[in-house]
Amino acid sequence: MNSLPSSVTPLQDSSEDQLRALLGRLQKAFQSDMSPSRAVRLDRLNRLGGLIESHSPEFAAAIAGDFGNRSAVEIRITETLVLQSGLRHAIRHLGRWMRPQRVSTALAYQPGKSLVMRQPLGVVGIISPWNYPLQLALAPLIGVLAAGNRAMIKPSEFTPVFSQALAAAIAATFAAEEVSVVTGDASVGRQFAALPFDHLVFTGSTAVGREVAQAAAKNLTPVTLELGGKSPAIIDASCNLDSVIDRIAWGKLINAGQTCIAPDYMLVPRGEIDRFVQTVRKSMKRLYPTFRANPDYSGIISERHLQRLRALIEDARSRGATVIEIEPDSDLAAIAGRQLAPTLLLDVNDDMRVMSEEIFGPILPILPYDTVEQAMAYVNSHARPLALYWFGENRAVRDQVLAGTIAGGVSINDTLLHIAQEKLPFGGVGASGQGHYHGEFGFRQFSKEKPVFIQSRFSGGGIIRPPYRPSIERVLNWISRLT
């Protein structure tokens, strides 16, 4: 691509002043129309849908190029279809979301009326990651545009081919005053996070999330942080393992484990460890008969990330872990799209890096437990995860785990699929993030829910204004019984 359209802003060497000028341009546009009509919002959402539909082959090719290998079918399942579902849901329900919500008014203040008015915030910044570069750039944008805002997007520098493709597609679809894309390295990302947005969305690691939150705090910019962490999967004694094992293997190996809500480690009843290992190995090989040069199996995003994953395995091995390679590693990984075969780890402990860092790859530690209370205690003794998975048929134990653990989201007897439900909020808790989006939750996240009280011409408020008469105590007692 020799030149970029006007709203593509490559800022590798740009100054903070240039970023602020771009933000000011969007803010000025927002101030000229602070309450976009439903028709305007629907037009923007429909244009976004058209962008996704018309550019999906180009986006898939760009993502595959950045990853070394990534299945076009997997991209469609995990990115394109998720976005299209979210768009259809937003378009279908936008009118209801936009309507002021009438709420009850205390009897003492009637016939006044109370309502909640949902109002756009202004300009929302979106910092998206590399692992699902299309979905995680545009899924927040659905809620941002539905709520009537403008947006600036900073995609990841680890997916440069896709980032440029997205920037060009956005520029061809939206005016720069509606949505703008900023490309550049980590220094541009830091400058971007420091801008005085009306709201900032960041998806990425917990460590970088802390830096983003600190930068935003200087402007009192509210943030939605979608981070990650170590999401546990618990196998209950009541689990029919054969019926769910493919769901576990798929959830772990899709995108080669580079998924923020992938099962990070397994908690398995002590007596079932050997059977679980045998069953999950068979499942992984059934899904992916080979991992090298397999067009269905994703590559690791970069050589640096690949070496980090190998270092996690070697650190665990040196500290006494039992390492089970599903397909023994070789130099082929370096020439076959950085495809790293899965590795199972037994006899792990919290002194190993693999149990203290988010893995973000096809490595699966397996920990034994003796009682459900012990499994829950292990989960609760660590940072709160973005996702938690439980597999079993015992409803009493299921409810015990749901009530006794805290996680950003949960899938029961499956993995990942809670993220695809538009009527469920998606977000973290504690170290795994804050704030929610998807569906109406995204619309509300990117709106100011403004409380409004409308006084009647027949107000009785005069009875509580000074000068206070001796009867005021009886009046206040009466009001206290009515409110």
Please list the active-site residues: 226, 260
Token pair of 379 as six digits: 């989960």
CB 379 within 8 A of CB 401: no
Burial zone of 356 (CB within 10 Å; 0-12 exposed, 13-18 middle, 19+ buried) = exposed
Return the closest-CA partner of residue 180 out of 56, 49, 20. Answer: 20
Question: Are 346 and 316 in contact, with CB atoms under 8 Å apart?
Answer: no
Which has the closest alpha carbon to 223: 433, 439, 443? Answer: 433
Cα angle, residue 442 at apex, residues 221 and 440 outer, rounded to 5°: 145
Residue 357 is classified by DSSP as: S
- Whether residue 407 contacts residue 227, with contact meaning beta carbons closer than 8 Å, is answered with no
Alpha carbon distance 416, 37 (integer Å): 35
**Single-letter amino acid, residue 110:** Q
Q: At what angle do helices 81-98 and 135-146 cross, to 10 degrees?
A: 10
Residue 114, exposed/middle/buried by CB under 10 A (0-12, 13-18, 19+)? middle
Taken in order 122, 128, 132, 133, the sign of the CA dihedral is positive
Integer angstrom CA distances of residue 164 from 25, 50, 135, 161, 472:
21, 18, 15, 6, 69
Q: What is the secondary structure of 130-179 as a DSSP string?
A: SSSTTHHHHHHHHHHHHTT-EEEEE--TT-HHHHHHHHHHHHHHS-TTTE
**Which residues are 333's β-sheet partners?**
none
Q: Which of 386, 419, 388 is nearest to 79 (CA)?
A: 419
Please identify which residue in the block is written with the tokens 């009527």. 423
Alpha carbon distance 90, 440 (integer Å)? 8
Q: Do the Cβ atoms of 249 and 284 come closer than 8 Å?
A: yes
- What one-character-per-residue DSSP string does 468-482 give? PPTTHHHHHHHHHHH
**Residue 349: how many CB atoms within 10 A of its CB?**
13
